[in-house]
Structure 1
C-alpha cells in the first residue's frame, strides 16, 4: 500500500477530481481510544477540529494484536471511501440543493438513508473498488 516515500498514493489519488486536487487533506493516525469493536473511524473536518482535513484513526490495538495486514488494508480502503464520499458533502458546505445538482447519486443516498447513507452507497457501488484495492495490495493472492 505504501510507496518508497511512505505515501499511500493510490488512495490519495482518489482525492483528485480530474486535474483538480481536493481542497481537503487526508490524515491517517493510530488511535488508542477507539472502542474494542471499532477497527477505525473517519472524522470530518468539523469532527476532527482540523480545518479541511479528514482524519482516519486506526485502532492501534487491533492493528498490532488482532488484524492481519490484509484486514488493515481493507479497513484503510473502507475509511478512505468514507472520506471521499463525505468530501463531496463538505465541498458544498452541506448545501443540499448544490449536492442534489452536482452529485445526484450521493444526494439520493443521503436523502433515502440519512444516518447510514455512506455505508449504503459503499455497499452498492464500492465493493469492486475495495476488492481491486486489496488485489493490488496482496498481488492477487486471494479471490474476490
Structure 2
C-alpha cells in the first residue's frame, strides 16, 4: 500500500515538473518570437521617417561666449543631417570634427545675446548651415537641428 502511495506521489511530482518545464519553455519561446516582431517594426519605422538621412551628433554640447561686454554664454548641442549613403562624407565629418566645433563656436561668438534672442530660429539655422558647409568639401550638410539651445546671461 505504501509503495503504491509513493508511486502515485512520484508520478504526480514527475507530471507537475513536466508541466512546469513545458510552460516555461512555451513562455520563453513566445517572448522571443514576440520580441523579434517588435524589433523588426522598430527598425523599419525610423528609416521610413528619416529616409536616407543620418544624424551626426558627435559634436556634443558646445559652450560659446557672445560678443558683448557683459558676455552671455550660449549652450548648444548641434545635430547635423546628411545623406546616409555618403560614407566618405561621414568620414570627412569625423575628420573635421574640431573644425566644425570651431566654426560653430566662432559663429555664436560673433553675435550678442539680444541678437540671438530676436533672431528667428530658421535664420540662425540657415546662417550656421552656410558657415558649416563652407569648410566641407565632399558634400553639404542638409539641415541643422538643436538638441539643446540655451542662452545664459
Q: TM-score, normalised by structure 2?
A: 0.26
Greater relative contact order (Cα < 8 A, sep 6+): 2
Q: Which has the larger radius of gyration?
A: 2
Normalised TM-score (structure 1): 0.27
